């Protein structure tokens, strides 16, 4: 699982770098699907990761304002700020069996699952939204960042 997190973080960084070559208009342009723009989609990925991590560790969930993170530099700083704690958690935590219980606002239900399930969901969530960036890249005639795990020297 550790390697898939490392893969996602590496891919996220490459997408942030890739976005540095977009015009401001392309970066913020409302699009169909995902979270409507390159910058909002990247923010969503990072924000959801920090929210799930807070649930896992019992910390207060930060309510981040997407409008504050209105530059790639700020998004990169946010991403860099959360990765070390999560990396330490997945390196040391015995998470497969440990359960967490939380209530969802939208479903008005209580969910009980293991830390391992949440970590796998976090991985899948990022891969899903990164895929949207690839679709948009092709729509504007640009080559997307390669999503290939092989050759990334992560293992």
Residue 70 is inside which H or E element, if any? none
Residue ranges of the binding site:
44, 125, 129
pTM: 0.89
pLDDT higher than 80, residue 104: no
Per-residue pLDDT of 32-89, as tens digits, reads 888 889 999 999 999 999 999 998 888 888 889 888 999 999 999 999 999 999 999 8
Biggest distance spanned by C-alpha atoms of the chain = 46
- Structural domains of the chain sorted by starting position, each given as residue range(s) with its CATH number in brackets: 2-139 (1.20.120.450)
Residue ranges of the binding site for a divalent metal cation:
44, 125, 129
Phi, psi of 101 (to 5 degrees): -120, 135
In the three-class reduction of DSSP (H, G, I as helix; E, B as strand; rest coil), residue 57 is classed as helix
Give the chain's mean pLDDT.
90
């Amino acid at each position: 699982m550790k390697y898939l997190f490392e893969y996602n973080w590496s891919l996220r960084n490459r997408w942030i770098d890739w976005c540095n070559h977009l015009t401001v208009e392309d970066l913020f342009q409302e699009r169909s699907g995902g979270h409507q723009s390159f910058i909002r989609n990247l923010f969503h990925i990072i924000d959801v990761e920090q929210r799930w991590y807070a649930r896992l560790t019992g910390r207060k969930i930060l309510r981040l304002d997407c409008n504050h993170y209105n530059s790639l530099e700020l998004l990169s700083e946010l991403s860099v700020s959360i990765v070390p704690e999560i990396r330490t958690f997945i390196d040391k935590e015995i998470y497969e069996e440990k359960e967490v219980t939380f209530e969802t606002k939208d479903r008005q239900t209580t969910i009980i699952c293991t830390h391992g399930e949440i970590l796998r969901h976090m991985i899948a969530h990022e891969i899903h939204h990164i895929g949207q960036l690839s679709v948009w890249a092709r729509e504007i005639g640009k080559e997307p960042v390669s999503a290939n795990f092989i050759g990334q020297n992560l293992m």
